[in-house]
Amino acid sequence: MALTTESLHALPAIIKRDGLVVIHAFPFKLGRESRVAMIRDSLHRIERPGSGVVKGLNDVYLMDPGELLQISREHCRIEQNGDGSYQIVDRGSKCGCTVNERRIGQHAGVMSATLADDDVLTLGTRENPYRFMFIAGFDNCGW
């Protein structure tokens, strides 16, 4: 679930509903949208063909209009383990991720962290506005 205006706007319009992105298959890969255009001094996504969730490097491509980019092209992935638990894994991003207050990524020396309901994920530095809440077991949403 998107927790900030910036994280809500970073998501492709076609895949979000009330600020939520439902993950149907794992691993679920996130990265920066590199298909952008400058229109009237503003950065705009060049929509990818299809549903907005495209197989390839990422399942979701997030916009990062910041002057200093926080989201890498291949930033992180969310995995479901065999026991039904979840984890986030940094994919070698430059700025890493934070799960609640715990840093993961190359600079932290830890590349993954277990995820639980209501964990707050920040992509990039701790100060970054791209914050999401992880909600497990949301299968009954009807999407």
- Kindly report, residue by residue over 76-130, the tens digit of the pLDDT: 999 999 999 999 999 999 999 999 999 999 999 999 999 999 999 999 998 888 8
In this structure, the number of other CB atoms found within 10 A of the CB of residue 138 comes to 13
What pLDDT, on a 0 to 100 scale, did the predictor assign at position 63? 80
* β 112-115/76-80 pair status: unpaired
**In the block, residue with structure tokens 């209501």:** 118
Residue spans per domain, the chain? 5-141
CATH of domain 5-141: 2.60.200.20
Q: Which pTM was predicted?
A: 0.81
User: Binning pLDDT at 50, 70 and 90, where does residue 65 land?
Assistant: confident
pLDDT for residue 75 is more than 90 = yes
Q: What pLDDT digit, counting tens, does each position of 11-61 carry?
A: 877 677 777 888 889 999 999 887 555 556 665 545 555 444 445 688 888
**CB-CB contact of 105 with 93 (8 Å):** yes
pLDDT for residue 68 is more than 60 = yes
What pLDDT, on a 0 to 100 scale, did the predictor assign at position 143? 43
